[in-house]
Structure 1
């Protein structure tokens, strides 16, 4: 009956809360529910378990407010990497019990609530900073401090996941508050935080359920802190990440090997870690499933131990090793039969023998990346093609010795291949791409960059054979022209296309894509000097779902083409059109006024009129007008 609230009359609080729990991860839906009525707002606040906060400018203030509003928080993510433009106008004052603060229009808090809700939350906070006017006080306002972390700890005793990314002002004192109050903590990310040993030791003493710990770029830590932590909660620890911590050495890893018998994932990036540390982990953490190493002082002995003890290893990533040889991967191939992801980056002393050993021993391999390993050539990859039939993703970067025959074997043996990435592989040409197209008909993603021997013939074969292809990138491939895109438009329904720097591509190729790929959402035709207004007009007619377009350095594009584009591409969110000499202030105004969803426009500042700037400031969330 009209005007009668049946839902609130019939449904009890418990059922509404259960409904809200089914909306976890759907921010817009939860925000909408909280605006229905006061009851829904109260219940939604009680049931919300996750919040994410960016560079708010006043994080302590926001935290104090949020923990009062959301009393059931289990996951909090704070990331201060993004800069914030915060300009306070002096004159904070009290009116009754509220706070009146004049904050300039440049201050835009980024938190996971609707803007109207944020304003209502701000009005409930009874806190006013002193008007010191000093730069130091203003900087303190811009970074989360121990006071904010203490407020979070006291208001969120059920907290299970806490992420503090580049919160530089947080110290051991704040971390101790978290440890003492949030004893159910399971995941802690301290990337870029300058916390000390005392805070980490407190976590080890109080948080006996801790499973995931990230200490990347925590420069204030030493072996003492990490050793005390793993001594306290090492039995439950499953994931550990350490990077650029100059005072964490093999002593810590020996403690990890002794206490963390359930460790499944380890990521190490340090020039101070040596063989003995990794050796201790391999011997003590035999449940290890993921190992990522960038340690230039570790030798073959460490990887041989991994191959001997860590028989459950599934993911292995080795980067910038100067002391590893083929003996390492031969040991991995012999012992780690469950390996399915292998990444090799700048491992100069590995050769085809290593890949042959992996191919024979690790037949379950699904993802392989070879980046800058200059001694690996065609025969090694041929072995992978013959033995690893479940390979689904292959990445070859800066591999000058790998030729067409390698991809011939991949095409023959790896029928399940879905993604292929080629970067600066000068010996791979059309024959290789034709073999892939004919053998790997399930290919969904093809990314090629600066492979100058690949041209129309190979891409035409892809269009004729790979009907499931949705993501195509052909950056700076000089031999690819319109004929290739015409074949792609006929045979594939792309969602993402990047042909940046392909000088032979013009209107005909882009028009074929517009006609054949109605679900296209991303297009980059930058530095394609033959693409003009006719292509944009056809895109406007054929690709109504387009969200992002990059037109920079396209000299034939003008205001007329932009007008045709935005007539039907009303979902456009970003448009890059730097160094398009025929685009004027009128064209920029057309894009801004026609696309209500636009969020980012990259163009020369002098092409933006004062009227467009005023309109953008009132309508858009974020307009980028600078280069």
Structure 2
């Protein structure tokens, strides 16, 4: 019957709550909550996650939110983020301070003096107490760079959050007493991040390991100058369930890593940036950590191929290996990993200048399941290495090349012909790669969705004409490829209707014809970067924005053919626009009034 509310009269609360649980985006939930008061109440009951930025009076905001969303299990508070708040949270029926809107608190704070005004933007111990009182079902809590909270607040909150499983304290200056309180009360804790917690010492971490170490599965430590091997020895003794360990410290030595390797038999992920760790510790990892699947070693200058040989011999389940700035590793170590860790799927070599072609050839021969390969600043790796990857790694889906001066078209052709499932190809400043290799990619890799060719100045239009055959392409970056002009971009526009991101900056030969074709052929385009394109004018820009109604960001600095009229056209035509980057002189007063919040300037005043 017309006008009858069939949903509310037929569906019970339990079923509506189940429906709300399937709405995984905030806009969908917000829209549903506006239907009626019943839906608003139920949506609040079903909300499980809340994110708070650097808002005015976060302590009061937490009190308001906890009263409206009692079943929240995930709470993220990040004071690096600036989040604009609405004027009110709804109709106020009381006049006490607990019902005041954040805007009112901001005005009040402004009258009290500059010091207090600064404090209102920082979470305090009172806010932590409100978290403990209001979000009793909390399982995951992130306090990112909340510099005003102390051990007292952390301990009082921990007393009430017995179900807490994940705690991120990155950048919080809490002390040992607070961390000990977490260990005492949060017995279900599984994940703990202590990056940049400079106030902690071994005392706090040892107490935590004693209190809740049995359940702890993940631990991250970075820039904690007072945490030493003593803490890691406690972790090795009491955290037998530990699966993930991330360490970035110059105060950790072999003794600590040895304790973890021997005491944590189910360790799966190990990330180390510890300049004082040597072969002795890595050899122990190879012997005792037979379940290891992910290993990342950064800036190691005191260990050699002996370590990788031990890893290859003992860690047969290793799937992901990252070696960054490890100067004393050579082909011998990588060959040992290739032979011993045949299940390897991801490999990244960054700045390992002594690893060359032979080492990577052995990966191609032995690691047939390799799906992602990244070579950054590897000057000694040549074409034959990637030819072997192309022959042996048929399942490769992603390839990243940065500043690899010895890799050219022959290597890219081998990859294109052998790895036909390739979906992502990123090449930057590899000056020996030209159109020949990219043509082979377009002819053979029909599943390609992500292509970046930054500052590869030997690549021209013929390459993009071939890429136009990759109809699933969504991301394209050809910034700095100055030989590319209208013909290449037109081919992409006609052949890649799903394109959503395009960067054509510094293409001096690109003109209005390409912009018009993009408007006609790429209706899904959301982001375009065309800075330093001297031939693009207001005419081409108007064709583009007229058809690309989903456009959200547009960067067009130093485009002399685009005037204030063109900028106004973008703002007026694109209802979804979120950011326009342009020179300040090209924004008229009317455009500034109409869309000032979406416009960014590269240089405000010169």
Say yes or no: TM over 0.5. Answer: yes
**Aligned match of 1:415:** 394
- Secondary structure in 1 matching 2:599: coil
> What is the alpha-carbon distance in structure 1 between the residues aligned to residue 425 and residue 168 of structure 2?
34
**Aligned match of 2:71:** 72
**Aligned match of 1:45:** 44
Contact kept in structure 1, 2:582 and 2:599, CA below 8 Å = no
Matched, 1:295 2:274: yes
Q: How does 1:26-175 map to 2 (within 5 A)?
A: 26-83=25-82, 97-98=94-95, 122=101, 132-175=111-154
Q: 1:16/1:38 Cα in 2 relative to 1: closer, same or farther (>3 Å)?
A: same
| Residue of structure 2 aligned with 1:615, choices 594, 597, 600 | 594
Q: 1:258/1:610 Cα in 2 relative to 1: closer, same or farther (>3 Å)?
A: same
- Please give the per-residue CA displacement for 1:293-331, whole angstroms capped at 9, x wherever unaligned: 000000011110011001000000000001010011100
**Aligned match of 1:435:** 414
> What is the alpha-carbon distance in structure 2 between the residues aligned to residue 121 and residue 446 of structure 1?
53
- Secondary structure in 2 matching 1:485: helix
> Deviation of residue 17 (structure 1)?
1.7
**Aligned match of 1:200:** 179
Matched, 1:478 2:454: no
Q: 1:426/1:99 Cα in 2 relative to 1: closer, same or farther (>3 Å)?
A: farther
- Please give the per-residue CA displacement for 1:514-570, whole angstroms capped at 9, x wherever unaligned: 011011000000011111111101101110110000000111111111001011001
> What is the alpha-carbon distance in structure 2 between the residues aligned to residue 169 and residue 292 of structure 1?
29
> Deviation of residue 19 (structure 1)?
2.0
Q: How does 1:458-537 map to 2 (within 5 A)?
A: 458-537=437-516
Q: 1:8/1:430 Cα in 2 relative to 1: closer, same or farther (>3 Å)?
A: same
**Aligned match of 1:445:** 424
- Secondary structure in 2 matching 1:221: coil
> What is the alpha-carbon distance in structure 2 between the residues aligned to residue 123 and residue 328 of structure 1?
56
Contact kept in structure 2, 1:99 and 1:125, CA below 8 Å = no
| Residue of structure 2 aligned with 1:575, choices 554, 564, 587 | 554
| Residue of structure 2 aligned with 1:257, choices 211, 236, 242 | 236
**Aligned match of 1:106:** none
Q: 1:562/1:127 Cα in 2 relative to 1: closer, same or farther (>3 Å)?
A: closer
Matched, 1:556 2:532: no
Matched, 1:591 2:584: no
> What is the alpha-carbon distance in structure 2 between the residues aligned to residue 10 and residue 597 of structure 1?
37
> What is the alpha-carbon distance in structure 1 between the residues aligned to residue 320 and residue 524 of structure 2?
34
Contact kept in structure 1, 2:372 and 2:399, CA below 8 Å = yes
Q: How does 1:280-359 map to 2 (within 5 A)?
A: 280-359=259-338
- Secondary structure in 2 matching 1:588: helix
Q: Report the TM-score when normalising by structure 1.
A: 0.93
Matched, 1:6 2:3: no
> What is the alpha-carbon distance in structure 2 between the residues aligned to residue 456 and residue 46 of structure 1?
57
Q: 1:169/1:45 Cα in 2 relative to 1: closer, same or farther (>3 Å)?
A: same
**Aligned match of 1:227:** 206
Q: 1:136/1:426 Cα in 2 relative to 1: closer, same or farther (>3 Å)?
A: same
After TM superposition, what 4+ stretches of structure 1 lie above 4 angstroms from structure 2?
A: 83-86, 123-132
> What is the alpha-carbon distance in structure 2 between the residues aligned to residue 276 and residue 199 of structure 1?
27
- Secondary structure in 2 matching 1:181: coil
- Please give the per-residue CA displacement for 1:350-404, whole angstroms capped at 9, x wherever unaligned: 0001110001000000000000000000000000000000000000000000000
> What is the alpha-carbon distance in structure 2 between the residues aligned to residue 517 and residue 315 of structure 1?
36
> Deviation of residue 96 (structure 1)?
8.1
Q: 1:454/1:121 Cα in 2 relative to 1: closer, same or farther (>3 Å)?
A: farther
> Deviation of residue 614 (structure 1)?
1.0
Matched, 1:388 2:367: yes
> What is the alpha-carbon distance in structure 2 between the residues aligned to residue 243 and residue 8 of structure 1?
52
> Deviation of residue 49 (structure 1)?
1.4
Q: 1:325/1:563 Cα in 2 relative to 1: closer, same or farther (>3 Å)?
A: same
- Secondary structure in 1 matching 2:251: coil
Provide structure 1 residue ranges, at least 5 long, that are not aligned to the other structure.
89-94, 102-119
Matched, 1:274 2:253: yes
Contact kept in structure 2, 1:65 and 1:122, CA below 8 Å = no
Matched, 1:624 2:600: yes
> What is the alpha-carbon distance in structure 2 between the residues aligned to residue 18 and residue 143 of structure 1?
36
Q: 1:28/1:321 Cα in 2 relative to 1: closer, same or farther (>3 Å)?
A: same
- Secondary structure in 2 matching 1:98: coil
- Secondary structure in 2 matching 1:624: strand
Contact kept in structure 1, 2:56 and 2:103, CA below 8 Å = no
Contact kept in structure 1, 2:56 and 2:105, CA below 8 Å = no
Contact kept in structure 2, 1:472 and 1:496, CA below 8 Å = yes
> Deviation of residue 124 (structure 1)?
12
> What is the alpha-carbon distance in structure 1 between the residues aligned to residue 298 and residue 208 of structure 2?
28
> What is the alpha-carbon distance in structure 2 between the residues aligned to residue 512 and residue 61 of structure 1?
56
Contact kept in structure 2, 1:466 and 1:492, CA below 8 Å = no
- Secondary structure in 2 matching 1:210: coil
Q: Which moved more, 1:231-240 or 1:171-180?
A: 171-180
- Please give the per-residue CA displacement for 1:437-493, whole angstroms capped at 9, x wherever unaligned: 010000000000000000000000101111111110000001000010001113443
Contact kept in structure 1, 2:346 and 2:371, CA below 8 Å = yes
| Residue of structure 1 aligned with 2:192, choices 206, 213, 218 | 213
Q: 1:233/1:300 Cα in 2 relative to 1: closer, same or farther (>3 Å)?
A: same
Q: 1:491/1:208 Cα in 2 relative to 1: closer, same or farther (>3 Å)?
A: closer
- Secondary structure in 2 matching 1:490: coil
> What is the alpha-carbon distance in structure 2 between the residues aligned to residue 147 and residue 181 of structure 1?
14
> What is the alpha-carbon distance in structure 2 between the residues aligned to residue 295 and residue 482 of structure 1?
47
- Secondary structure in 1 matching 2:600: coil
